[in-house]
Amino acid sequence: MQKGDNNTNMNRKEKKSGPRLWLELFLTFFKIGLFTFGGGYAMIPLIQRETVVRKKWVSEDDIVEIIAIAESTPGPISVNASTFIGTRTAGFFGALFATLGLVLPSFGIIFGLTFVLDAFGELQPVRYAFIGVRAGVLALVLKAFVSMLKKCPRKAVSYGIALGAFILVAFAKINAVFVLLGSALLGLAHYLIERKILDKKEDE
Amino acid sequence: MIYLELFLTFFKIGLFTFGGGYAMLPLVTEEVLSHGWLSGELLVDFVAIAESTPGPFAINLATFVGTEVGGIFGAICSTIGAVLPSFIIILIVAKVYGAFQKSKAVRGVMSGLKPASVGLIASAVLTIGQSALFATGITVATFQTPALYISLGIFAVTAVMVFKKVHPIIVIVISALLGIAFGYIFAL
């Protein structure tokens, strides 16, 4: 495991190591996976409390950085954060056990629920319940859209990419993978050109 | 080979998930429908279940689709597939994260991906709207039955709750109760 040179003494305190630390990582992230509903952003406060305040695996500054990176790498934010904290704390096996712990509660609960759904899904009251639930989910996703839109940078290019992605996926039925790749390239090109113009202005 | 297909599909979904759970819905819908694994309605029903059970949304979805399609081994393959891209990428980034954070390329790419995920969520709103309100298609008959108006009513009530920051689980429970009540009253 590589430790940054500028890391303070956070990794040097006397601590458990090896399998006992792996087990502790596993149990901590198991708890985080078990007690957070709604995934992603809902998990961040609990991750912070458990790993910074209680276990002191990472520092207050580090966790802010870790979450920023978890947001800007592919995959679920909570999985990214658990892998990151795991590897920082105890290397590869730390990452493995932390991630396994996070995922296992979901896996078990959903696996069980699938059979419940298969057994009772056709019952009249369950069918009625889901008619209502679909409308409720529509409201939840609409809210997610509004909050994401508020976080979107207020620039013409950003709104253009958002609108373009929407039209291509919703109406032209283009695969979302291609739309994401295209948007990434567009964002990169725009960013680099903008920087170049700014640098030139500074030179003058 | 169904297990390999589940693994690869969810690997792809995990690799292209940006901006949280809902942004991946268009990709999941596309993959699941094109493989003929689930119906669109079942997927929306499951979004509600994923929202009311603990754990990351993407993992819940992967486990659910995997179980439906290939039992326990299907669930294992799809869940590992969904987690693996994150795991590998973070192991690498954790070693070079100083450079990662300062990288102009990363910033540029993110400046494109963030708004794109807004567009993807908008597309999810449309898909879910269709199966919540027009599950039987958009015909004249749809507008003459009470089902559409009941759904619109429940949507209006839950939308007010959601924007007043009521907890999602409470929103789901109330929408389910309203569905049961109106379902029996109007014998849908």
Are residues A148 and B121 in contact, defined by beta-carbon separation less than 8 angstroms? Answer: yes
Give me A111's structure tokens: 């696996």
Mutation for testing the A interface, residue in B24, B123, B160 having most A CBs under 10 Å: B123
A41, A75, A131 member nearest B183 (Cβ)? A131
Q: Name the pTM for this structure.
A: 0.83
Distance from CA of B153 to the nearest CA of A (A): 9
Distance from CA of A144 to the nearest CA of B (A): 8
Which chain A residues are Cβ-neighbours of B97 within 8 angstroms?
Answer: 65, 69
Alpha-carbon dihedral B60, B61, B64, B66, rounded to 10 degrees: -120
Structural domain count of chain B: 2
B16, B128, B179 member nearest A138 (Cβ)? B128
Give me A170's structure tokens: 């919703």
pLDDT at A117: 85
Q: Which residues contact A137 (CB under 8 A, 6 or more apart)?
A: B44, B47, B48, B51, B128, B132, B172, B175
The answer to whether residues B154 and B185 belong to one domain is yes
pLDDT at A41: 66
Residue A98 to residue B38: CA distance in whole angstroms: 31
Task: Give, to the nearest 10 degrees, the angle between helix A77-120 and helix B57-95.
Answer: 160
pLDDT at A4: 45
pLDDT beneath 50: ranges in chain B: none
Per-residue pLDDT of chain A (204 residues; tens, 9 = 90+): 444 444 444 444 446 778 999 999 999 999 999 887 766 667 788 888 899 999 999 998 888 888 888 888 898 888 999 999 999 999 999 999 999 999 999 999 999 988 888 888 889 999 899 889 889 989 988 988 898 888 888 899 999 999 999 999 999 989 888 999 999 999 999 999 998 888 888 777
Out of B58, B88, B116, pick the residue that ends a domain: B116
pLDDT at A15: 60
Q: Is A139 on the interface with B (CB under 8 A)?
A: yes
Q: Please report the ipTM that was assigned to this predicted complex.
A: 0.86
Residue type, A154: R
pLDDT at B2: 94
Which chain B residues are Cβ-neighbours of A105 within 8 angstroms?
Answer: 54-55
Domain of B167, in residue numbers: 134-188
Distance from CA of A76 to the nearest CA of B (A): 6
Q: Is B137 on the interface with A (CB under 8 A)?
A: no
Out of B90, B116, B142, pick the residue that ends a domain: B116
Q: Is there a domain that residue B127 lies in?
A: no
Tell me the per-residue pLDDT of B75-85, one tens digit each, with 9 for 90 and over. Answer: 999 999 999 99
